[in-house]
Every structure is written in structure tokens, then in C-alpha cells.
A and B are shown apart, each in its own frame.
With several copies, the nearest count.
Chain A
Amino acid sequence: MATAAAPSILDVRADFPIFGRRIDGRPLVYLDSAATSQKPESVIAAIDDYYRRHNANIHRGVYTLAQEATEMFEGARERVAAFAGGQTETTIFTRNATEAINLVAYAWGREHVGPGDAVLITQMEHHSNIVPWQLLCEETGAELRYLDVSDEGKLSLEQLDAELARGDVKLVACAHISNVLGTINPVAEIVGRARSAGAVTLIDGSQAAPQMPIDVGALGPDFYAWTGHKALGPTGIGVLHGRRELLERMRPFLGGGDMIRTVDFQRSTWNDLPWKFEAGTSMVAEGVGLGAAVDYLTGLQMESVRAHERELVGYALERLREVAGVRVIGPRTAEERGGVISFELEGIHPHDVADLVNRENVCIRAGHHCAMPLMRRLGVPATARASFGPYNDRSDVDALIGALAQARQVFGV
């Protein structure tokens, strides 16, 4: 059963301080990277160094610290933009991916979506890529429609074509990788077809950016959103890459300091991109931390990160087949998946599964994974989910399999 572990493609666990942690004397088996990733030493150290040596408010300060802080933050933006194939001036820092999507819903949506129009999303979206569109449609009288998810966890381009052919679709929003199914969606095709049909596209790359090479420029969506904390970076920062023409024409979203050029009593004018969409004091330490995170990922090479995830997912799919009563949800092969595996274990509710494997320090998630509509589509109240980061290896999968066997014993199933 237990394998003579093949060497992993990446071997970087030692870079992540949290794995020095022992709980009840035993190491951590962290399989919840789809919820949030762990952080390498270099990211933690960058934040620490920022506060210890450089902390100052940015953009408007003349003194040395303020200049250093500004350069560190704007330098991080350059590297974050390059990491995802975006341009610096169209790479906007937000609070998280959720805020990035809301920014588009408010600042683009309210001007371009109205009664008789439709917003098209998919049944596999995260709540953060559903609720902003519900609010927008409720406010503007537009219709919210969904692309179906097949039993295998996939979208249909034919259905997309049919929806676009109706001629009312103003925006198509779709996850790059599903955080529940693991499905890697054909976003290049989706973006291309939507574009030909005159629809604006938003791709939610929250799961993709940390897992595979992304080239927003080549992919070509109008908006691409992702989130720092899932990409080895800090909490409190997300990214929105936008198409320049759209960003330039959009009204601002949040008003306040830094996003203005001039403020008069009754009227203001807006700052250049990207600052037009960054109101108030920036997430400076978070920007610096995210810069360190993309440096680290770039050092690993995203092709290797993707190969590593694929290899681990392949191994995990194989080993899960050994456990009686396991039903894996989503695409069948590791090629079609990101590093996420949702499953059910017969006779044990996912919430109990997660609690039981936690006794072996195996951290997995149970619940609706912020995707209640997908749960409804799949006909399950919840799933258990294991997901991977660059720091995982086969021994983590083995630990999960062992813990699942124990869980079955406790429940006598």
C-alpha cells in the first residue's frame, strides 16, 4: 500500500516555516491550499523587513523611507504584472479576488448592463463570481444565466455558442480552474468566442494563478482576477488585470485619497491607471509580500509547479481508488485538473471526514466551498476536498489515505 515515494518534482517544503510546526508532537499534513496557501520564508521575511526598516506611506512622501516604500510597492506591482503576463499600468491591487470582481461589477457593470441584457456565468463559479452579478442584475434589471456543468464537471462550448447567439450577453464570467471540481476550463476558447460575440469577459484566476503559467496578454480576457493569499502571498491583497481601453473609460469604483488627480469642492478628476482604482492608503506591506511570492514562484518556474501538481493529483486519484466508498467528483484525469480533488466517503458526512482526518493532522476542507449552486447541481450537500501546493509531496497523500481508512474504522463503515 504505502509506496516507496518517488521523488517529487519540487522539493521545497523546507522553505515554508509552518511545516516546522508540530501539533501533538506530529507534523502538519496541509491539504487545503485551494482555501489558502502557506507562505515561504522569503514572503514572511519581506513583510517583516518592510515593517522593520522601510515602513512609510507611499506616493507622496519626499523623505527616504517614503521613497523606499514607494519603490518597493511599485516594484512589486511590476513583478506581479509580469508574473501574470499583464502590464504594470493595468494591474490593479485590490483587497482580494472578490473585491476585484466587485470592482468590475460596479464600475463597468452598472454602466454597460441594463434591462434586456444578460450576464452569463457558469454553475461551477465561486460565490465571489456569482453574488456580484446577482447584485448587478437585481439593480439593473439584467438577466443572470448559467452555463451548465456536465456530470464530469465540464462546460460545453456548444452551450456557450448558443447562449452568445441569443445576442443579449454583455459579459461572460468564468473560473479558470474550479475550486471544487478542479476542472481547468478552456478559457482561451471561451474568451475568443465571447469576444467575437461582442461580450466582455472576466476570468476568475484565483485557483489558476498559483498553479500554472498564466499569460493574461495572450489569453486576452478583458478582466482577469486573482488573489494573493492563494499564491503564496499575504492576505489582504488581490489583483485585477484589466484591458486598458475599458479601464480608462470606466468611472472609478472607490473614491478617496490617491485615486484622484484633483479634488475641487464639487468635482474631481482621476489619477492615471492603475491608481485610479486604488483608493486610500495602499496595501503596502501586502504588495511587498506578494512581490516576494511571485519572485519565489518564478524561481520555481510555473511549468514545474504545474507539473508537480499534476503529478501529485495523479498519484492521489490513484490512491483514492484504493479506499472503499470514495467517490471522486470532477474530471477523471490529472491532465484535466488543477490541484484540487473533491470527494465523498460513503456513510460519513464530509464534515465528519474532515474532523476525523484532523486527528492525524491532515488538514482538508469540508462544506460547500463557497459554491452552493454547484453543490445543488451535483446533488450533494457538501464535499470533502483535498488540494495541493508546491510544498506537498506523496507522503501527504499517503497520510490522507491512511487517515481516511481510520475514519472508516471509527464509523464502522
Chain B
Amino acid sequence: MDDLYRDYILDHYKRPRNFGELEPHDLEAHDHNPLCGDELGVHIRVADGKIVELRFHGQGCAISQAAASIASEEYVGMPLDEVGGLDGEWLIELLGIPISATRRRCALLNLKVMRGATTGDASWPNGGG
């Protein structure tokens, strides 16, 4: 089996969870990774300071799309103010695959968008430099 494109990665890529739009929503952000043309937007519904529902939408490589899908399952239910504290390492570990320097931004795009939506900070998460 492939190291990077593991079955669950391809599964999330082909059938992404929490994918689509969410109207109405409380928070949103949109960003892209010019390197590979990945685009990702997010719509978030908030209640009691927590993320209660969320949808990603966009297009891109398997890593960026699968990462968004996998991470989306973590984001749902998370207190809003925790998102800003998540770093690249958290996400890479979550994915469980060896991410090379070149693919890092693919993996981190969803976190960048989430941080943009929740904290307004649109810079790359740690390790996405």
C-alpha cells in the first residue's frame, strides 16, 4: 500500500466528509495555495462558543481535500477559541502520513482557513512557512 495515499486518505478524498455549503452560517473564510491551485472555503455554525456544524468546499489535490475532510471531524464540537491554538504538527499527526516539505501547505490549508474564519489570522500555521 502507498505510504502517502493510504486507503483512508483516498477515501476521504473521494468522499469528503462535511463537504458543501452551509446557509446560513456564522463564520466563513476562503483561501488558496497558489502552489498547486488548491482552493478551500469554509462555512461554520456556532453555538455556545462551540463549532456545531461546518462545511468545507473547494477543489484541490488529494492531500488538501482529504486533510480538510479528516480534520473537519475534529473541528466539529471544538470550542471556537481552541482553533487558533492548533498548529501544523497537530494536523500532520492527525493525518498520520509522511508529509514532505512540498506537500505541507496542501495539508495545512484547511487549518489556515479555519484560523482565518475564527481568529482573522490568515497566515500559514506553524510549519507551513
A and B touch in the complex (CB under 8 A): yes
Given contacts A349-B60, A349-B61, A375-B37, contact A410 B102 (CB under 8 A): no
State whether the Cβ of B117 lies closer than 8 Å to any Cβ in chain A: no
How large, as a class, is the contact surface on chain B? 20 to 34
Of B2-10, B18-26, B48-56, B79-87, the segment with at least 4 beta carbons within 8 Å of chain A is: B2-10
Given contacts A356-B5, A410-B2, A412-B10, contact A382 B101 (CB under 8 A): no
Question: Which of B10, B34, B102 lies in contact with A67, CB distance below 8 A?
Answer: B102
Highest count of chain A CB atoms <10 Å: which of B2, B10, B63, B102: B102
Question: Which of B34, B36, B102 lies in contact with A350, CB distance below 8 A?
Answer: B36
Please give, as numbers and ranges, the residues of chain A lying within 8 Å of B62 by CB-CB distance.
348-349, 352, 411
Which positions 19-78 of chain B face chain A at CB distance < 8 Å? 32, 34-39, 59-63
Complex CA–CA separation, A352 to B35 (angstroms): 12
Residue of B nearest to A381 (CB): B37
Please give, as numbers and ranges, the residues of chain B lying within 8 Å of A351 by CB-CB distance.
35-38, 60-61, 63, 106
Are A261 and B34 within 8 A (Cβ)? yes
Please give, as numbers and ranges, the residues of chain B lying within 8 Å of A411 by CB-CB distance.
5, 10, 62
Are A367 and B36 within 8 A (Cβ)? yes
Residue of A nearest to B36 (CB): A351
Residue of B nearest to A349 (CB): B61
State whether the Cβ of A115 lies closer than 8 Å to any Cβ in chain B: no
Q: Type the 1/0 row for A54-71, where 1 means its CB is closer than 8 Å to any CB of B.
A: 000001111000110011
State whether the Cβ of A154 lies closer than 8 Å to any Cβ in chain B: no
Q: Which residues of B contact A (CB under 8 A)?
A: 2, 4-5, 10, 32, 34-39, 59-63, 100-103, 106
Q: Which residues of A contact B (CB under 8 A)?
A: 59-62, 66-67, 70-71, 260-262, 348-352, 355-356, 366-368, 372, 375, 381-382, 410-412
What are some 26 contacts across the A-B interface (CB < 8 A)? A66-B102, A67-B100, A67-B101, A67-B102, A71-B101, A260-B34, A262-B34, A349-B36, A349-B60, A350-B36, A350-B37, A350-B61, A351-B36, A351-B37, A351-B38, A351-B61, A351-B63, A352-B5, A352-B63, A355-B4, A355-B103, A367-B36, A368-B34, A382-B36, A411-B5, A411-B10
